[in-house]
Each structure stands twice: as structure tokens, then as C-alpha cells.
Structure 1
Amino acid sequence: MGKLQVRPYGSWKSPVTTDLIVGETIRLGLVALEGEDVYWIEGRPSEGGRNVIVRRSPDGTLTDINPQPFNARTRVHEYGGGDFVVHFGTVYFSNFSDQRLYKQEKDHEPVPLTPANERRYADMVVDQQRNRLICVCEDHSNKEREAVNSLVAIPLDGSAIDGQIQVLQSGNDFYSTPRVSSDGIKLSWLTWNHPNMPWDGCELWVADLDDIGNIHGARRVAGGTEESIFEPSWSPDNVLYFTSDRSNWWNLYRFQHDEIEAVCPKEAEFGTPQWVFGMSTYAFVSPERIVCSYGGPKESGFAFLNTKTGELTAIESPFSSHAQIVANKQQVAFLAASPTSETCVARLDVATNKIEVLRRSQKAAIDASYISEAQLIEFPTAHDLTAYAYYYPPKNADFQAPEGDFPPLLVISHGGPTSSASKNLYLSTQFWTSHGFAVVDVNYGGSSGYGRAYRDRLKGQWGIVDVEDCVNAAKYLVNKGLADPNRLTIQGGSAGGYTTLCALTFTDTFKAGASHFGVSDLNVFVYDTHKFESRYLFGLIGPYPERKDLYYERSAINFTDKLSCPVIFFQGLDDKIVPPSQAELMVNALRAKKLPVAYLAFEGEQHGFRRAENIKRSLDGELYFYSKVFNFELAEPVEPVQIDNL
């Protein structure tokens, strides 16, 4: 290695280019197993963000299942998930463009199973005894009312095309996770109602199935408005397991003989917020053996769980994150990542405990000398509480900063807001650190992974607790001499964009910011969003319209007079979750105030960008914006962004 070049922070030339990020990266999603075959979803930016179901055969052959232009992606709840299911080599999937379910047999074109109407389907499970799918249906046919959700049965013989769709359960606002017992005689599911989100409170129900598929004796067995249930699953010997946060932590329980029993009590999370369908943190290898992932501030792990003794046996794994876990007697498949490796599909051989990588989301390997590894920090915040974050120092094998220089700090406010930052490797983060930025990814109060009490810090306090924690993370790093107080920036997407705009408006800590499809006017959001989150703010802010005053007070759009720093906005023009009006209201206000502002809007993009050219444009554009407002030279030219009032 040669002598380090001395250049100011932010101006370093990085091997982590946007071309590398979008050209060599795929998104990996839902994983499934059948026999020795492993299936997963690949989101391909190079194909316009199309979701492709891929099968890996035992000999390592990879086969695309759904041909062009089919896109395996459901829009139930808008966030989707649970997009496909496999049965005896036949794949059933939801197609994005028309939201119909399709049957895909080997060497055949996809055949539609459902009629062309305004209904969407997700979270399918095969009811083998009755030759049908059971799934969640979301009916958008009546534009004068809110979408209607239900559990339905769809025959696999094609008769559903003529309307032969049986409604099994309806009447509540939401349903998820329908699962048929191993012997085929019982059905379980989750359900909840406004204003709850599933991580606030939901109910676990069980019913008997008769020979023709009707349900009888439906009864609630766990959950309620103050208890969150996650991932009910039937063991091979027909015992119902589930995750509940009744102890403050999402722990594993089972229901048998009309009683609920804790399987492995622990101050750790065996579950996660159900933002999408089909999430899985545990699976059965046998009736006596579960493979599971868990985590928390004290400990985390990937392990086998003995269902009789509750004992955990650690699995030696090179990864720190294990998700979308599926299993059978021979193998376990899952998504995995670590601080030095991006998400991959991995396989565990049950007999040998050997783990192999089947597919990587990132083809190009980045030399470790350019990778900044996450460092967990705990920092003091408001009300004498502690909050958490992952800190990434600037790192580039070729450069160092002039003596006495401090790096610009990018504070990341994650979405959700009931999501979480992780220490996994993300090239989008390494893009910043290898250019000479410090980054801190904040798990503010309200984030998952730290127990229910920590999540509940945000109840009624959105726009306050999250902002305080992001501000205090920045101040903590400044006080440690790890960031330049005059070059503090904040960015976030969706709910993280809301936190970003509030932090820029209601505090003077940050000198610039970037909102990616962020909420600026809570009153507009109440009326102009999708069903799944349409009452979410009742818990985060307060009931509406009774507390309309709070919605006004915590909306950045109403206080643009307090803004005093440059902001860049990124927005998908087809976004149904945070509509473009949210960004445009703010952009127009900043233009009128003569503050530096930039606005990049993308045709055809929804909530989160999927197309390679738009992902590239967003990263390059944000770096360009900071280079202009902080007055440093870029190592290499990028496409300029129009900045008004600069």
C-alpha cells in the first residue's frame, strides 16, 4: 500500500461507486424450501426492479421461475411480502402489474388463478387436502370505501377465474399469517383492527376445518389490543407455536391442551414488527427441534432450540443476522448478513451444521480496507434515558484527512418508525464512509429489538423522542471529537424522512438534510395514505381529529419559518404511502423562503426506489448537494443537481 493521500473529509475517491452499487446488486427476499430445492426472490434493479423467483437445484443450477415481464410482488398493505408459495414443484405467485395470482408449472407459461379485478392476494399457504390456496385478500373494488381485507380460499383447479373464491374470515380490518396444521384439520391466523398496528396488539385465532374446507369453532387463543403476536406456526406434530411480547420481549410460546406455555423465556426478541407478510424468525427441523434467531441489547444468537427442555444450542455462523428462516429435516435456508458481508441466501446442512452461501446480493467484493464496521454505541438522551445507535467512522485505505480536520456526520433516521438499524453491511452506508463521512444509524426510542417498553417510548411522542435521540446521537459524537459540529447532516426515508424534517425544522443542530419520500404534513397524511397505516398516527401522535392540534404542532410544513439550512428531497411520483404532495409542499415553502433546496422526482417509482438509474441518481445527487452546501470538491464529477437559492 502506498502513501496515504491527504484530502479533506468528503472529497475522498471511493471504490464504492454508485455504478458498482446498482450494477452488481440485487435485493433478496422471501425464501422457501421444498425437498432439496431452495427458492427465493431477487429484486433486480437492472430489470426495472422486477421481482424474480429463483430456484436453486441440489446441483447448484439456478433457474428463473417467473419469465419476463412477470413480477412476483403483491401490493397487499402496499408493502407486500408473502408473494409466492411452492407445492410439489409448482409455484403460485402474485403478479405486480395486475395483482392476480398465477400458477407456474415447470416448462409452462404462468396461468392466472384469479379473475382480473381490483383484488390483491398475499401470504399464501397450500391446503393440500382440499386442493386450494388459503391467503389474505384485499378488495379495492369499491372506491367509495376503505379496502376490505379477508381470508379466502382459492381452488387450484382454475375455477376461481369464474368467481369461485370462498371467504373464510372477514369483518375485521386486517388479517395475516393463515396457516394449516400439519394434519390439515385446523387453521390459525392473526387479525387486528384500527387503530392498532400488528406490533401494538393483534389476536391469534384457531378454527377447525371440515372435509370441504368450511371453518367451525373459531376461537381466540392469545393476543389482544395490548399484546403483539408474531409468526404463528404449526409443528410437525400439530402443536401451535407463536411469538408474543407479553413479557416485554417477543418470546416463543406454544398453545396445547388449551394452555399457553413459554418455550424459552429470555430478555431477547425472537420476533420482529410485521411490516410485510411472510416474515420468519424460526422454523421446525422436527417436533423437538426449532432453528431460531434472536437478538437484543444484551445478547443475540442463531441456535437450535430443544422444544422439550427449552435449551438453546448455538450454531456456529459467520453471520450476525439471520432472517426469513425456513427448514425441513435436511436443511435450513435463510437470509444472512454481517458487518463485513451484505445480505445473502445461505443454507445450513442439519446433519453437519455446515453453512454455505447460495446467492449473494452483491457480486463485487469490496476490500476490507475500505469497509467501515459498525460500532454499537449507547448514548444519553432526554429524561435521563439511554438510546442506541451504530456508528461508522470514515474509512478509506487511500486517504487521510488534514490534521485537525473533523469529518462531516450523516445521521440516519430509519423508517417505520417501528423498524430498526442493524450492523449489517450496506454498501449505501459504505458509500458515505469511504468518501470521508462519518455515519451514525440511530435506533431511537420506538425502534424494535429492545423490548416493548423501548418501542412504547414513541407512543404519542413521534416527532419528539425520535428527534431528541437523533440530535443527542450527533451531539454525543461531536463531544467525542468524532464529528464536525458545522457539518452535521441528517437523512431518512418515509417515517425517517419525517424525523429528518422535524429535526431540521424544530432544532438548530443540523446544517443540511435529505428527505427521501418523507412526511411533512401529518394532517394530509391522515387523509392521503393507504389503509394499513391510515390510523398508525393515532398511536404515534394522538386520536384524530380530537388532537388535531398535535398534528399541526408536529408538522414541519407549518413552521418553515424555523428552517434555516439547505434540504434536498427525493420522491417517487407513484408513491401511495407518502404521496408526492408531501415533498412538493415543503419544496415550495423552502423556495419561497429563499433557502437552498433541491427536488428530484422519479416517474414510475413508488415507496422506495427500485430502478438502478434512480438509486444511482439519488446517492450521487445527495453527495453532490452536500459538496455544494459544505463547499468541498468531489473526487470525481457526478451529474449535477439543480439547487435553487444557492
Structure 2
Amino acid sequence: MAETRPYGSWKSSVSAEMLVGKTLRMADVWLTSDDTLYWIEVRPEQKGRFVAMTLPSRGGTVEELTPEPYSVRTRVHEYGGAPMTVVGDTLYFSNYGDHRLYRQRAGQAPEAVTPTAKMRYADPVWDAQRSRLIAIREDHSESDIQAVNTIVAINPESNTTGTVLVKGADFYLYPRISPDGSKMVWISWNHPNMPWDGTELFMGDLRDNGVDHVVKIAGGPEESVVQPVWGPDGALYFVSDRTGWWNLYRWQDGQIAPVIAPMDAEFGQPNWQIGTANYAFMGDEIIAFYSQNGSDYLLRINPHTGERTPIQSEYTVFSQVRANQSRAVMFAASPSQPRALVSWDPEHGFQVIRSSGDAPIEAEDISIPEAIEFPTENGLTAHAFFYPPKNHAYVAPSGDKPPLIVFSHGGPTGSTEAVFSLAIQYWTTRGFAVVDVNYGGSTGYGRAYRNRLYDAWGLVDVADCTNAALYLARQGRVDENRLAIRGGSAGGYTTLACLTFRDAFHVGASYYGVSDIGALARETHKFESRYMDKLVGPWPEAEAVYNARSPIMHAERLNRPVIFFQGLDDKIVPPNQAELMVNSLKERGIPVAYITFDGEGHGFVRAENVIRATEAELYFYAQILGIELAEHIEPVPIDNWPSE
């Protein structure tokens, strides 16, 4: 029989240690025509080494390919992605340690095919006609901040940094060679755009030393084109948001036509990382997924008739679709199933190849998210996932309402997804409610929704996170007097801005949160160096706007208890940004805690620090919100608060 205890004080089976347990992290999938599967796994116990894996056939045995110390990873655009390709039984990959390209023949050790140089490579593809690789190259030899991006050809026998084929744009994605080897397409864009703002798709005749007869197929400063794929019919397929939504198109004989009737759905996603893939050809069919109202859906598409057939699945989130003649592979997850590498074909349906781990709690204790829409500023609607408290061993006293924690995601041009997360179940199994907000500017809801954050970072995100909490409180689903907000990095900025410029929240937690957004405009890497132009305004012309929206400039207005978590080696958000705000709270008698970690940068990676931060956050909320915890947690020093 369930025990009656107040919300927030339930004993949970989800420990902080479980958040850093043996969860397998996977990325980047390849599937060859002979049905050999490749992917990448991360080895935290080997200093986060990225390892290439293979499964030679459906009934075969998983093998680890790249030996220590090689790490199959790239830092092109800083966020990387697509670090390898496979040619026959030979693996070509970027090594994170020295950024050189390597070749690893079957059964042999890796050998470098580019020299030591301040170059980075990504998204290599094989030019079979000329026996060479074509890849994106990022040249840091003159400047680390403003590197030069090009598309280059690399002869693996010559040990050179590559012959430049395409140059002149600030950034490149998706070099793709036509099946007959005569043409190449690519995507490029220039500052101040990000790839979800505006890109251009080009095609040209591929030569030994360059590309000529170049024509633009699609795109422009206000059209985002992504994911070009040559179809087996010789046509070029791509995704464009020309209707306001990323939909699938075909270019053939100089004409562009939609593959299916345009939908208010997203067949694309923001290219924070290189090589995203929402669709692939399985024989003559397209296997594709789209996002709509916070969930993903998988389809079979006949590219010539436009007929689409839903593929039924319990999965709600997909990524990295690859296919050959007989099957498709992808990553998939759901609110109750952790991320897995899965295979699908009409005969066998879905089969799990590799799981990131089992859900380590009882199914009856998993809080399943509810997609909610709520009213926000200017008569608009925003989106979020609401997770109610869930623990079969407890019920709350009559009339009790749960405390609410608002999760603010990073990016800020990103999104949160309805997938199983121990970081959320940690709270819901203790009797907290959680709302994970996809504020205006988040992806998955069309271009107009993405664009809401233009000139409005620090306004729209703050309004939407605040209004999500107030909406749930007005519905009587949470306690309006116990509202908390948390976030890291850009999400930490939204957290601090909510606590500084609004009065709805009673407590907050900032994980290496940005408090001076002007610093992001002044110093950052090339990929994001003009990102702030659209989110806030050009620097330094808009300095007054940056100052008006930076919590650090208005520390005297922050009058809610906050716990700050800070890596002392953080170069992106230096400790002094947190310390100024901590000292202001101390001086004004407002409860504040400041937890620092030696050796940590922008994001915590050491297990003991993640555990300490998680438990400290729970302890802080309990103290401020008057919750009696069911477990002992090492106390956190809180200034301006009675000691235990």
C-alpha cells in the first residue's frame, strides 16, 4: 500500500550515482551496400575516447575497430560530427588528438594520410573515379578564431593537406558526389547567418583541381537548405524550409518539386553538428522521419507518386537515418526507452542492435511527458513537456500540490525532446513536477517559431519559461508558491534572467550560466561569432541592449535564492561572472550557495562532481522550499540561511 508523504519528500530509487552510470553513448551511423554497419561509441573510462564500431552482418558479432589512443572525432565548426567514412573494408577517419585524417585497412593499424598541420577535417566522402577523399577542411594556420573553411580533395597516397576545390564562403556542409562521379553538390552560408537561418545549395562539374560550371539549385539568406542526397533515379533530393517548414524536395531537369505535399512538419533539424540525416533511400523508397508537435514520426515515401506510409513504432524520437537496398538503421528513443541503435525493414520490423542501457527503474515509476501548449506574451502560444510526479510507493496528502522545476534548455537554438531521461526522473520520483520548455526560438515547430528569438534572446525565452510555470500553477497542477527554475550555459542565462527580471520563481539553480551575454559577442569561435547579431544585435552597436539583458549588469535586482555551480577552469563563462552575482546576494542578505569544481570547464564531466552538484541542488531546494527529504545529503553551505 502506498505511503502518504508530501510531494518532494518521497524516497526514490533513482540516485545521483545512476546519472553517471554505465550509459552507452553512441553517434554517427554508416550502413554499406553489403549490409555492414558502422557507428561510434564513447568510452568515458578512456578519457572520453570515440571508438569506431562495426557489425559485419545482421547475425555477426560487434567489433571494436580503432585502437587506443585514436579517437574518431572532429572539431570542425567546434561541434563536429561526421568524422569518418568507409570505402570497401577501409575506414577513413579524423583523429581528435591531432586532427589528421587516418586510413585503417581491415586488420591493420591506422596510418595518417594527411600531415601534421593546423587543419581539421569533417564529412569525408569517397570520389571513386579519382581514388580520393573529398572533405570539409577548416584551416587554423592563420587564426584560431576566424579559421578558413573550404572543400578539399585529398589523395590518401600523397600525405598533403588537400587540394582546394571550393572556397569563398564562411562555412560548408554536405559535399556529395553524383553516382556517375561527374558532379558535386554542397551547401554553404556566410556570416551573420547560422545554417538554420539561410544557406545555399550549389552544384558543379567535378574536376581534378576544382569544380566548374557552378549553378545554384536552391537557398538564400532567408531559406535554409540542408541534407542533399543523390537518389537512385539520378535526381537530387534536399530539404528546404521555403514554406516555413523543412520539407523534402527533388531537383531534376532544372526543376524543383516537392516530394510529398508540403506539411507543417520538420524533415530537417539545425546543423549544430555536421552530417544530420532525416532521410535515406532504402532501394527506391525513402525512409524519413519528421517532427511535429514535439514528437517524431517515421515514414516510407514513394518519391515518384508522393505516396507516404506511416511506419508504426513506440519510438518518439529518431536521428541519423541510413539505409541500403534492404533495410534502414537509425537511433531511436521514447519516454520509456533509452536511446538505441535500431534496424528496420518490412519483414522484421524494428530490431535493437545496440542499446545505450536499460531504464534502471520500474516502468510504473517512469513519468511519461505530456506535450502542452500554453499562452505566452503577445497573444502567442509556446510549447513544453510536462512531467508529473510519479512513484508507485507514495501518494501525496489531500490538497497537496507538487513543487515545480522548470528546465530551460541550452542552445538557445535547440530543443528538448520527449525521451527517457534519468536527470528528469531523479526529480519526478521524489515528488517534484518538471516542465521542460521549448521556448520561442526552439526547433521542431517551424521557421516562424524559430525566428521568435531574433532580437529577443533574454525576452522571449524568459517570458515562455515564466508563463509555462504560471500556466501549470493556474491549472492547479503545481504549487504556485514553490516554483523553481534551472539551466546550464545558455539555459543558465535564461534561468538567471528569469530570476533577475521576473518575480514568478522562488528559487533557482545556475549551472555555469551566462550572465554577461556581451562576452559571447566579444569572444567566441568562428561558427558562433556572429550568432548574437540576430539574437540580440550587432556588437558593439547594440551594446546598450546587451547590457540591458545581462543579469550581471543588474545584480541588485536579483532577490531570489540561487545556487550557482561553476567550473574553475571554465573559459566560456569565467568564474567571475558567477562570483559577482553571488557576492551581491550575500551583501543583500539573500540566501545563496556557490559550489565550485577544480579542473572542470564549461560542463561537468567528472562523476563525483556531477553527483555532488545534483545532490546539492536537491538539498538547496529542500531548504528554501521547506521540504523534508527522505534521504541524507551532505549539507551545502548556504549564506544568509540558518545552519542545520
TM value normalised by structure 2: 0.94
User: 1:176 matched to which residue of 2?
Assistant: 173
Deviation at 1:273, TM superposition (A): 0.9
Deviation at 1:464, TM superposition (A): 0.6
1:52 equivalent to 2:47? Answer: no
Deviation at 1:22, TM superposition (A): 1.7
What is the identity, as a one-letter code, of the residue corresponding to 1:196? N
What is the identity, as a one-letter code, of the residue corresponding to 1:118? K
Higher relative contact order (CA 8 A, sep 6+): 1
CA distance in 2, matches of 1:601, 1:406: 33
Deviation at 1:579, TM superposition (A): 5.1
Q: Structure 1 137/606 Cα, relative in aligned 2: closer, same or farther at 3 Å? A: farther
CA distance in 1, matches of 2:484, 2:428: 14
Deviation at 1:239, TM superposition (A): 1.6
Deviation at 1:596, TM superposition (A): 3.3
- Alpha carbons 2:337, 2:359 under 8 Å: kept: no
RMSD of the TM alignment (CA)? Answer: 2.1
User: 2:9 matched to which residue of 1?
Assistant: 11
- Alpha carbons 2:338, 2:358 under 8 Å: kept: no
Q: Deviations over 1:292-322 (max 9, x none)?
A: 0012239852011110011111112221112
1:615 equivalent to 2:614? Answer: no
- Alpha carbons 1:24, 1:364 under 8 Å: kept: no
Q: Deviations over 1:48-89 (max 9, x none)?
A: 333222212322412222222322221112211112222212
What is the identity, as a one-letter code, of the residue corresponding to 2:70? F
User: 1:290 matched to which residue of 2?
Assistant: 286
Deviates more, 1:459-468 or 1:415-424: 415-424
What is the identity, as a one-letter code, of the residue corresponding to 1:40? W
What is the identity, as a one-letter code, of the residue corresponding to 2:401? F
CA distance in 2, matches of 1:60, 1:597: 56
Q: Structure 1 487/423 Cα, relative in aligned 2: closer, same or farther at 3 Å? A: same
What is the identity, as a one-letter code, of the residue corresponding to 1:21? L
CA distance in 2, matches of 1:19, 1:245: 42
User: 2:300 matched to which residue of 1?
Assistant: 304
- Alpha carbons 1:12, 1:434 under 8 Å: kept: yes
CA distance in 2, matches of 1:463, 1:536: 14
SS in 1 for 2:508: strand
User: 1:539 matched to which residue of 2?
Assistant: 534
Total equivalences in the alignment: 638
Q: Structure 1 332/27 Cα, relative in aligned 2: closer, same or farther at 3 Å? A: same
Deviation at 1:541, TM superposition (A): 1.0
User: 2:205 matched to which residue of 1?
Assistant: 208
1:244 equivalent to 2:243? Answer: no
Deviates more, 1:197-206 or 1:493-502: 493-502
- Alpha carbons 1:528, 1:579 under 8 Å: kept: no
- Alpha carbons 1:412, 1:490 under 8 Å: kept: yes
- Alpha carbons 2:294, 2:418 under 8 Å: kept: no
User: 2:104 matched to which residue of 1?
Assistant: 104
- Alpha carbons 2:294, 2:417 under 8 Å: kept: no
Q: Deviations over 1:567-599 (max 9, x none)?
A: 233345555655555445544544454543334
What is the identity, as a one-letter code, of the residue corresponding to 1:167? V
CA distance in 2, matches of 1:592, 1:112: 58
1:461 equivalent to 2:461? Answer: no
- Alpha carbons 1:529, 1:579 under 8 Å: kept: no
- Alpha carbons 1:100, 1:114 under 8 Å: kept: yes
What is the identity, as a one-letter code, of the residue corresponding to 1:127? D
CA distance in 2, matches of 1:154, 1:300: 38
Q: Deviations over 1:382-422 (max 9, x none)?
A: 11111111100010111222333221111011122221122
Counterparts of 1:574-589 in structure 2, within 5 Å, are 578=573, 580=575, 582-589=577-584
What is the identity, as a one-letter code, of the residue corresponding to 2:388? P
User: 1:437 matched to which residue of 2?
Assistant: 432
Counterparts of 1:30-69 in structure 2, within 5 Å, are 30-34=28-32, 35-58=34-57, 59-69=59-69
CA distance in 1, matches of 2:532, 2:468: 25
**Aligned match for 1:187, one of 184, 188, 198:** 184
Q: Structure 1 108/144 Cα, relative in aligned 2: closer, same or farther at 3 Å? A: closer
User: 2:196 matched to which residue of 1?
Assistant: 199
What is the identity, as a one-letter code, of the residue corresponding to 1:65? L
Q: Structure 1 314/145 Cα, relative in aligned 2: closer, same or farther at 3 Å? A: closer
SS in 1 for 2:292: coil
CA distance in 2, matches of 1:572, 1:93: 32
Deviation at 1:622, TM superposition (A): 2.1
Q: Deviations over 1:441-496 (max 9, x none)?
A: 11111111111111111111111111111101000111111212222111122222
- Alpha carbons 1:491, 1:514 under 8 Å: kept: yes
CA distance in 2, matches of 1:131, 1:642: 63
- Alpha carbons 1:168, 1:214 under 8 Å: kept: yes
1:385 equivalent to 2:380? Answer: yes
- Alpha carbons 1:48, 1:612 under 8 Å: kept: no
Deviates more, 1:528-537 or 1:56-65: 56-65
Q: Deviations over 1:187-240 (max 9, x none)?
A: 111111111001010111111112x35311222211111000111111123321
Deviation at 1:129, TM superposition (A): 2.2
- Alpha carbons 1:22, 1:45 under 8 Å: kept: no
**Aligned match for 2:347, one of 352, 357, 360:** 352
CA distance in 1, matches of 2:609, 2:73: 20
CA distance in 2, matches of 1:129, 1:540: 44
- Alpha carbons 1:130, 1:213 under 8 Å: kept: no
CA distance in 1, matches of 2:609, 2:396: 31
- Alpha carbons 1:195, 1:535 under 8 Å: kept: yes
Counterparts of 1:546-565 in structure 2, within 5 Å, are 546-565=541-560
Q: Structure 1 358/166 Cα, relative in aligned 2: closer, same or farther at 3 Å? A: same
- Alpha carbons 1:268, 1:299 under 8 Å: kept: no
User: 1:281 matched to which residue of 2?
Assistant: 278
User: 1:80 matched to which residue of 2?
Assistant: 80
CA distance in 1, matches of 2:322, 2:601: 29
Deviates more, 1:417-426 or 1:335-344: 417-426
Identity %, equivalent residues: 51
- Alpha carbons 2:164, 2:209 under 8 Å: kept: no
CA distance in 1, matches of 2:47, 2:635: 23
Q: Deviations over 1:131-176 (max 9, x none)?
A: 222122222222486222111222222x22xx35111222221111
CA distance in 1, matches of 2:574, 2:540: 21
What is the identity, as a one-letter code, of the residue corresponding to 1:431? Y
CA distance in 1, matches of 2:107, 2:469: 56
What is the identity, as a one-letter code, of the residue corresponding to 1:277? I
Deviation at 1:556, TM superposition (A): 0.7
TM value normalised by structure 1: 0.94
Q: Structure 1 615/476 Cα, relative in aligned 2: closer, same or farther at 3 Å? A: same
Counterparts of 1:401-412 in structure 2, within 5 Å, are 401-412=396-407
CA distance in 2, matches of 1:585, 1:121: 40
Q: Structure 1 619/314 Cα, relative in aligned 2: closer, same or farther at 3 Å? A: same
CA distance in 1, matches of 2:381, 2:12: 34
1:530 equivalent to 2:528? Answer: no
- Alpha carbons 1:54, 1:64 under 8 Å: kept: yes
Deviates more, 1:358-367 or 1:329-338: 358-367
CA distance in 1, matches of 2:576, 2:96: 24
User: 1:473 matched to which residue of 2?
Assistant: 468
User: 1:419 matched to which residue of 2?
Assistant: 414
CA distance in 2, matches of 1:149, 1:290: 31
What is the identity, as a one-letter code, of the residue corresponding to 1:236? P
SS in 2 for 1:295: strand
Deviation at 1:524, TM superposition (A): 1.2
User: 2:565 matched to which residue of 1?
Assistant: 570
Q: Structure 1 78/308 Cα, relative in aligned 2: closer, same or farther at 3 Å? A: same
User: 1:630 matched to which residue of 2?
Assistant: 625
- Alpha carbons 2:293, 2:371 under 8 Å: kept: no
CA distance in 2, matches of 1:589, 1:257: 65
Deviation at 1:639, TM superposition (A): 4.5
- Alpha carbons 2:35, 2:324 under 8 Å: kept: no
Counterparts of 1:452-531 in structure 2, within 5 Å, are 452-531=447-526
What is the identity, as a one-letter code, of the residue corresponding to 2:191? H
